[in-house]
Amino acid sequence: MPARLALDRIADFAAEQGYERLEVGVWPGTGGRDFEAAHLPVATFTDEDAAATRDLLDRTGLEISALAYYENNLHQDLDRREEVRTHLKHAIDAAQVLGVPYVGTFIGRDNSKSVRENMTEGNQVLPELVDYAGERGVRLIIENCVMEGWHPDGYPGNLAYSPSSGVGSPASASV
């Protein structure tokens, strides 16, 4: 697994290169996959963490465009799904404290169910998360990566991989 850079090193580099904003990864510090990054401890985010983050942003002249936690919100293991849901709410709470307008997430898919069944499940699971974010002045943004390899039969592991999936269409705008 590649070494992870601390947020201050990333911010310093980004500022030197002329960047204005960063999307900041907020996975739990599990280090399970290459694309996970735990740059802010959102599950235990304190006033001191918020102040240190603001100081870093002030020092570098950067803003945070979004907090990133792209995990499977429809995971077939309901205990794992609850872990994802809970951590996503922590990310939303931290975004509110920091004044970050967006939290990026992933719809995902229960690979034991059909697309139709997943759409029904998503309509039950996702509105609560959208409402939770909205009540805090934060908007959820959805990753549309196919996530090949997440589904054992080779189908996409994410319902939001294509406009034809219906996710994001006017008919599903409440999701």
pLDDT given for residue 109 in this prediction: 86
For strands 139-143 and 102-106, give the pairing: parallel
Q: List the one residue out of 45, 43, 25, 44 whose CA is nearest residue 35.
A: 25
Token digits of residue 109: 């898919």
Confidence of residue 16 (pLDDT cuts 50, 70, 90): very high
Report the predicted TM-score, pTM, of the whole model to 2 decimal places.
Answer: 0.85
**β strands within the chain, DSSP E:** 21-25, 63-72, 102-106, 139-143
- What are the pLDDT digits (tens) for 147-174? 666 555 666 666 665 555 554 443 333 3
- What are the pLDDT digits (tens) for 135-149? 999 999 988 776 666
